[in-house]
Each structure stands twice: as structure tokens, then as C-alpha cells.
Structure 1
Amino acid sequence: MAAVQILDKIYWVGAVDWNVRYFHGPTYSIRKGTTYNSYLIVDEKVALVDTVFGPFTAELVENIKEVIPLEKIDYVVVNHIESDHSGAFPEIMKLAPQARVLCTQKAMEGLKKHFQGDWDFQVVKTKDTVSLGRRSLTFIEAPMLHWPDSMFTYVEEEALLLPNDAFGQHIATSYRFDDQADINQIMDEAGKYYANILWPFSRLVARKIEEITAMGLKIKMIAPSHGIIWRNDPMRIVNAYSRWAKGEACKKAVIVYDTMWESTGKMANAILQGLVSQGVEARLFKVSVSDTSEIIGELLESKAIVVGSPTINNDMHPVMAPFLTDLVGLKPLNKIGMVFGSYGWKGGAVETVKGRLQEAGIQVVEQQPVAKWVPTKDELQECYHAGQWLASQI
């Protein structure tokens, strides 16, 4: 992709990764690819805000060259040191050795350790400002959104917020702006992104939004480090983050289960029917054939999670473990949970799953349908009624 002007003398110079399918190792699937957004601000002085993932360094360099020679860059702003944003940093600094690096203290320490080098650093803090001439950059520290080094950059004269990983989405597209793309798809990807990356830091997200509001910053455009740029309705994503950070949910439930000989599967379907009969939107996922990242995304705006497992070796089925481990780490807010399962010799799965949900901070209800061997019609009816009862709690 070529450089794209997003405002007067402000350019997107990043890269589109059409083929990436996993992020953070195999933990987060991104079926639609992603972008690595980098921004060039040309004024009396020139600033490059963030770089790109290392394999796309040449593309970044060519995009910058379309606008200016690299030796004219005065500042390289590093909002976040994770490799998808800093991978090209060493090469950019070789090509622009005159540039000063603007970043937080934690980012400076991280860059030195990541790349075993040293550069002309200027450590910045919240409300520090650097003038480029007609425009200025104001910095807002954002620790744990989502790394300790993270910060936002704000261009006051354009009411432009450059928040790095906040407000982003993993989606590869030839479009750069929200008014060009399918907004429903973009919001779905933004929700999946929030749930899989930022959910553990929801209280910090809420505080940061309050802080920026208290600073009185006008925001006409939000340009994150992944996905599209919010120029038509930037408050749409801010308001969504506010809801997600508070744990607001819809009348919706997600059922996650696995089964060996279909006993637990039959129970899952009966619970689903009970929920649906009361007007609750419900989604059913067999975990061994489902994408955990997609399940987590569906949970974001769901009030209830229902988890079922057969017992094997006095414990839950092993395929449930990765999903539940993810859930414990993500700490979803304001969810209620129900557990169910089947067994043959001796139970154990239900209590294990219940414990994991409680570790995740989920309020687990007392009702927990259990069936020995194959569930009878009466036991499936109990599952159906359990779904109806759970619907009344949503």
C-alpha cells in the first residue's frame, strides 16, 4: 500500500498484512489479517509516530520516501515497544540517525533491551508537549493499555488522537477509514480485539477515558495502530470502550462445551433451547472445533456463560483447559456462569470447571445439571428448565 494522506500533511505510511492468521503466538487468531499503522506528520519539524512489524520495514521506508527523505525526520515517537510496532525501529534509526526518540521511561528501557542499542532519547510524561511548528504533540502515558510502556500521542491542532493499540482492530483492508468500510464488521473486530487483549485492563480503560475527558481534549479523529482510522464517528468506538470497560452486556448467553459420546452435547442443546425459549440470544460452541478467540469475542457483550464438560480421569475434558485458562487471565467483568456435565464412573468435571470460572471472577449459580451415562428425557428436561431459569437471571 502507498502512503495515504489522512489530514493536511499527515500521512498513513504503514503496511497491510493480508496473510497473518495468529497474533501473540497461537493465542489470538486473526482470520482477516491486520495492518501495522505508522503515521508521518510533516511540519517545520517532522515526526514519525510508531513503526511497523519487522518484515514490513521496506514497505514502511518506501512509503515514507513517497513523502519526504528519511534524513528529514526529526522525531520518532514510540507509543509502544511491542514488535508489531517497533520491529522496523532499528532500521529507521539507521536511515534517520539524526532523529530524537520520544517515548516513556519504560519504553526507553525496553527499546534498549529489545535491540541492544542506544539512541538520542527524550523521555516524555503525561501533558509534556513537543512543538513541530504549526502543530504540537502532547503525550498521555497509558501504562498497561496494554503494556507498561504504552502511551498515546495527541495532535491538538487537528484534534487527532494516536492511541497505538487502543481502539484498534485486526483487519486487513485496502480502506483506511471507518466511513469506507463495513462498520458492523469493523465493530465486531474491535470488540474481539478488546476482549482478547484489553479485557483484563478494563478498569484502567475506564480511568483513561475519564482522564482524557477531564483534560478537555477535543477528538475529531482517532488513528490506532491496527485496522481502520476513525474519522467519521470517532466517539462510536470511545463509547463502545466505555460500555465494555464497565462490563455492560446484552440479553445474551454463550454455551461452551465438549463431549466424548454426545451426552454432554445433548445437555448443551437442551440448555440452549431453554434460553432461547425465553427470548435470550444464545450461541453454542464445541470447544474442540471452535476458535477460542472468537468465543472470547462473543462473550464480551454476553451476560452469561454456560460451560459443560464430561468427566475423564476424575477431571474435566483436557480440551476445555486452554479456553478456561484464557478466561482466567482475561477476567471478564459482570458475568454469571452455569456449569453442567456428564460422567460414567465418578464425577469431577463440574467442580473443576466451576472452580476455574470462579478464578476468572465469574459468579457461578448453584444450578448445575449433571447426568450419569446418557441423559434421560427427564434429565434433558431439567437442562431445558435450567436454561429457562438462567434466562430469568440475565
Structure 2
Amino acid sequence: MGVKISESVTWVGKIDWELKKFHGEDYSTHRGSSYNSYLVRDEKVALIDTVWSPFGEEFVEKLKKEIDLSKIDYIIANHGEIDHSGGLPALMREIPDTPIYCTANAVKSLKGQFHEDWNFVTVKTGDTLKLGKKTLTFVEAPMLHWPDSMFEYLDGEEILFSNDAFGQHYATELLYNDLVDQAELYQEAIKYYANILTPFSKLVTRKIEEVLSFKLPLKMICPSHGVIWRKDPAQIVKKYLEWAGDYQENQVTIVYDTMWDGTKKMAEAIAKGIHQTDGTVTIKLFNAGKSDKNDIVTEIFKAKAVLFGSPTVNKGILA
């Protein structure tokens, strides 16, 4: 069964406790993840996103226990990537004529992946979908982090459905930001930003400033992965603005590779020297051949200085 998170919104997603790699083998998920889907009930009913493909059939069967599928009036696809849209084929076999609201780029993505000419309705920033007493307003968010991405704002409930933005790969049945370990939460949040969104930081700043300019009240942020931000949801928005700027902590990150420990000893000697010079500096030391690359990227993102070391091999370096 789903989890009711507000008067009209129910979480109907999937927690993936076993996930250890994401985006193929590209991103490590030490704490699993979740694929968040939201059912919005009013006079009309909208379903926001589905789940990753392997859980598509399970998702539909569980959704049937939550609602008669024929009563779903609209499907909203925030993003074509299959961790969001993977449940669509199974769902559309049940309710094939239900309109799917998405961006023009998402139509291309979904048609390209599933080879189906579903009932697509394209939307852009400022378009609305009236459900009854409440209305969803669409906001395009290209390159956060795909060209087809978009958000929705639910008035009356003051909820932002933020797609991949403000998310984390973090599996927990506790669901909300105020119920989980804050150190774990923010480690996963900054890792997500550093590894996925950093290349688009200027776009992140621009999009957040655009949304803030609407001066909309905000009670909750519901991302596509990880926990829902219900306690002081603006805290993660402020963090994103920090991370998208010239962000650095009082940290030096040293990354090295080594053949016979010579470069390792040099790296350790440098770390010792930094500590002796300034004991307040956090020092992170990584053997590139043995450490998780996403953890390294995260600690590079935090650092005010980064040092790299490698032995010479065939007139080059270890790679």
C-alpha cells in the first residue's frame, strides 16, 4: 500500500534496498535508492512518474490495491529515463488511452525507448493542469539533469515535485528528511550533486532563481529519489545554491595511484605536512585504484585544494 504524505498526495513508489550501482556501473549506491511515484487525488487523479523497469509489473499490481486504475485521469512523466518511466509499459497496457503529460523532449525520449504512440500531451513552463480544487503548474527544467526534465508545483498543498533535483540515492522506509540520520542524508545529497549535477551548476542556479521568483509558498519537496523534504524544505534549496556556486570546504583531497608504495608514501608525507602546518584542515587521502570513484569525486568537489600523484609508467601515468 502507499503512504499518505498530505491531504491529497500518496507516495506509491518502490524502495530498492539491494541497488549498489546506478546508471549502469557508473554511480555507486552504497545505501540503495528509491523510485518515487506520487498519486495526487482531487476531483481528477494524476499519477506522477512510475518506477524502474524491473519493478514495473510489481508497481502496477500494488497500484491496483491503492486505486482503481481506470480512475487515473492523467499520467505525468517528469523525465524519460527508465528509473522514472520504466513502469509505463505495464501501466499503459491497463489504461492505454490515459493522457501522458510531459515535455516535447520527453515525448521523443519515451517514443524512442518504448516505440509506442501513447496519448502524449506536451507541456511547457507555466502550463497548468486543474485537478479540481487544486492545480498542478508545470516548470521545464532542461539539463537537470536531462533535456526532457520538468517539475510540478501543487497549489493548495504547496508541494514541489522536483524530479531528480534535490534527490539522493538513499533507501529508507522512514521517507522524510527529519526522520533519517542527517549525516547520511547530506552525504548522499552532496554525492548526488557532485557526481550528477555539477556540470550543470549554472543551469541549477538559474532554475532555482526562476522558481524562487514565483514567490510560491513551499511546505514540501518531493524528489524522484530518496527522502521527501518536509521539515524546512528550503534547506536543500539553499544547499544547492551553495553547491552551484564557488563551493569549497576547509579540506584538501589527495588522490594517488601507486605501483610499489612509493607514491603512496609521498602522498602520506604530504598529508602529514599539511596537518603539521594547519591542524584545522580536513585531509582526505584516496588510492585511486582501490577507492570508489564517486566517493573520490565527492571529496574533490568539497576540497579547496586537490593533489594528484602517480608513478611514471611507459612515459605516462597509471590510469
**Band of TM-score, shorter chain:** over 0.9
Structure 2 length normalisation: TM-score?
0.97
Aligned to 1:16: 15
**1:74–1:98: 8 Å Cα contact kept in structure 2?**
no
SS of the residue 1:226 aligns to = coil
The 2-side partners of 1:63 and 1:155 are apart by 24
The 1-side partners of 2:302 and 2:260 are apart by 31
State, as a whole percentage, how many aligned pairs show the same letter: 50
Q: Does residue 307 of the first structure (1) align with residue 308 of the second (2)?
A: yes
Aligned to 2:268: 269
The 1-side partners of 2:232 and 2:185 are apart by 13
Higher mean alpha-carbon deviation, 200-209 vs 295-304, is at 295-304
Q: How does 1:1-394 map to 2 (within 5 A)?
A: 2-277=1-276, 278=278, 279-318=280-319
Aligned pairs, how many? 317
In the TM superposition, residue 63 of structure 1 has moved relative to its aligned partner by 3.3
SS of the residue 2:96 aligns to = coil
In the TM superposition, residue 108 of structure 1 has moved relative to its aligned partner by 0.7
- Report the residue type matching 1:300 in the other structure: F
SS of the residue 1:26 aligns to = coil
SS of the residue 1:196 aligns to = helix
Structure 1 length normalisation: TM-score?
0.79
The 2-side partners of 1:84 and 1:10 are apart by 21
**1:72–1:96: 8 Å Cα contact kept in structure 2?**
no
**2:310–2:317: 8 Å Cα contact kept in structure 1?**
yes
The 2-side partners of 1:250 and 1:258 are apart by 24
Cα displacement string for residues 331-371 of structure 1 (whole angstroms, at most 9, x for unaligned residues): xxxxxxxxxxxxxxxxxxxxxxxxxxxxxxxxxxxxxxxxx
In the TM superposition, residue 293 of structure 1 has moved relative to its aligned partner by 0.7
Query: C-alpha root-mean-square deviation of aligned residues, in Å?
Result: 1.0
The 2-side partners of 1:127 and 1:169 are apart by 27
**1:40–1:64: 8 Å Cα contact kept in structure 2?**
no
The 1-side partners of 2:67 and 2:217 are apart by 29
**1:254–1:284: 8 Å Cα contact kept in structure 2?**
yes
The 2-side partners of 1:44 and 1:99 are apart by 16
In the TM superposition, residue 263 of structure 1 has moved relative to its aligned partner by 1.4
In the TM superposition, residue 58 of structure 1 has moved relative to its aligned partner by 2.9
In the TM superposition, residue 171 of structure 1 has moved relative to its aligned partner by 1.1
Cα displacement string for residues 303-332 of structure 1 (whole angstroms, at most 9, x for unaligned residues): 1111100010000112xxxxxxxxxxxxxx
In the TM superposition, residue 299 of structure 1 has moved relative to its aligned partner by 2.1
Consecutive unaligned residues of structure 2, counting only runs of 5 or more, are: none
**2:60–2:87: 8 Å Cα contact kept in structure 1?**
no
The 2-side partners of 1:15 and 1:303 are apart by 38
Aligned to 1:365: none
Of structures 1 and 2, the one with the larger relative CO (CA 8 A, separation 6+) is 2
The 1-side partners of 2:255 and 2:167 are apart by 27
In the TM superposition, residue 266 of structure 1 has moved relative to its aligned partner by 1.2
SS of the residue 1:223 aligns to = strand
- Report the residue type matching 2:13 in the other structure: G
- Report the residue type matching 1:306 in the other structure: L
The 2-side partners of 1:61 and 1:89 are apart by 9
In the TM superposition, residue 276 of structure 1 has moved relative to its aligned partner by 1.7
SS of the residue 1:222 aligns to = strand
The 2-side partners of 1:46 and 1:176 are apart by 22
The 2-side partners of 1:71 and 1:274 are apart by 67
Cα displacement string for residues 1-42 of structure 1 (whole angstroms, at most 9, x for unaligned residues): x31001012100000111111111111111111000000001
The 1-side partners of 2:7 and 2:300 are apart by 40
The 2-side partners of 1:273 and 1:315 are apart by 27
**1:71–1:98: 8 Å Cα contact kept in structure 2?**
no
In the TM superposition, residue 249 of structure 1 has moved relative to its aligned partner by 1.0
Ranges of 4+ aligned residues in structure 1 off by more than 4 Å: none
- Report the residue type matching 2:166 in the other structure: F
The 2-side partners of 1:263 and 1:55 are apart by 46
